[in-house]
Structures are given as C-alpha cells and as structure tokens.
Amino acid sequence: FNYMKNLILNFDLGSSYVSGQSVMKEIAARAPYTLRVAFISLLIAIVIGIPLGVIAATNQYTWKDSLSMLLSMLFVSMPSFWLALTLVLIFSVILGILPAVGIASWKSYIMPCFSLSVGTAASLARQTRSSMLEVIRQDFIVTSRAKGVKETTVIYRHALKNALIPIITTIGDKLGTMLAGALIAETVFAIPGMGVYIMNAINRRDYPVIGGTALVMSVWF
C-alpha cells in the first residue's frame, strides 16, 4: 500500500538497496540511452525491412524474391546477442574502426542498433511481402495499371499504402521487442542505459530497482 501510494502521489519507486539512490532518478538518467537505442533500431528495421518486402512481392518467384526471403529467414533466426558479439569481433577487434563498449560518439550506436534491428527488419520484410501480395492482386491495382499509371506510382502510392495496416500493427508490436532487446545490446556493449542497470540489480538482488525498471518499461510499451 505504501509503495503504491508513493508511486501514484509522488512518482516514487523507492530507493536502491545497494546504492541508496532514488530508483526514479536513476531511471531518468539512464532512460534516454535505452530509448535512443530502441527507436534508432526500429527506424533502421523499417528502412530496411519494408523496401525488402516490396521488392520480394513485386518480383515474386524470381531470384530477388528468393534472396530476400532467404536473408529474412537467416536474420530472423539469428540471436541478437550472437550477432552483437560477432560485430564486436570483426569491427572492433580485427578492423578497429568502431568502439566496442560505451557511448563516446555516434559511432558507438552503430553496432548495437544494427544488431538489434536485423531480426525486426526480417520480420517486417516477410509481413510486407505477404500484405503486398494480397493487395497487388486486387481489382483497383489492375485498373490503375490499365489506365497507364506508372508502375512505381501503382506500387508505392496505391498498393503499399493499402498494405500498411498490418505492417503498422507489426511495427507497434516490435517496439516492445526493441525495448527488451535494448537491454541485451546495452549489456553486450556496456551502454549505461537501463539494461546494465537492471542486470546489475538482478545480480545483486536489488528488488526496488528490478521492480521499478520493469514497471517503467511496461508503461512505455
């Protein structure tokens, strides 16, 4: 009762057992990193996934379709933490062109966001292909083509706009996946966000931090 009263009236999530710091203040300091990683990753997934699905649908049963779906199946099956470690090995250890841990500059976001986005991009590509195939067979698409409308206009202005409803639903659902995946990416790349915060709390059995972080992320989603 006291916990809920303090939460509702004062937005107070209690204090950490370990550090004694306010959980809400710690979350406020770390939340921007987590949200930044999640939303950048989602944007990358949209930019890659939807065009890939459109290409697959408009070139059905060709090598472009087969290659797109092969890549989608590969990336949707690939664990994000394994991909993250592989990227660190290649681009940080071997090539030395990207920082392995921490947030020093915009380059520090490249590997975490890419490793987090590929699985969602693959799912969006498959959903886009399925939705587009349903739409491009409908009568209004045939009519548009019969009127001599440019093919790019038919695909992107008429077909894609009508196919976006299930795709947008999928994007909303994937936002929750991104928030959860951001915790893994932050742990692998030592980003000072909520992922590292909650993992340290779990290891130390710091229950106010665990409960507060889980509650805030649930409210976000």
Task: Read off the tokens for 93.
Answer: 């250890």
Whole-number Å distance between alpha carbons of 62 and 60: 6
Percent share of the chain, pLDDT over 90: 19
At residue 199, the pLDDT reads 87
d(C-alpha 117, C-alpha 195), whole Å: 17
pLDDT of residue 104: 79
The tens digit of pLDDT for each residue in 16-68 reads 888 888 999 999 999 899 889 989 999 999 999 999 999 998 888 899 889 98
Helical segments of 102-206, H only? 110-135, 139-146, 151-153, 160-189, 194-204
Q: Please count the other Cβ atoms lying within 10 Å of the Cβ belonging to residue 143.
A: 12
pLDDT, tens digit, 9 for 90 and up, residues 57-94? 888 889 988 998 898 888 888 888 888 899 999 998 89
Joined together, the tokens standing for residue 181 give 């995946």
pLDDT at 14 over 90: no
pLDDT in tens, 152-209: 888 888 888 888 888 998 888 888 878 877 888 888 888 888 888 888 899 999 999 9
DSSP letters along 51-104, please?
A: HHHHHHHHTTTSHHHHHHHHHHHHHHTS-HHHHHHHHIIIIIIIS--S-SSS-S
Q: Helix 23-58 and helix 160-189: axis angle, to 10°?
A: 140
Residue 77: other Cβ atoms inside 10 A: 9
The C-alpha atoms of residue 39 and residue 77 are separated, in whole angstroms, by 22
How far is 183 from 112, CA to CA, in rounded Å? 10
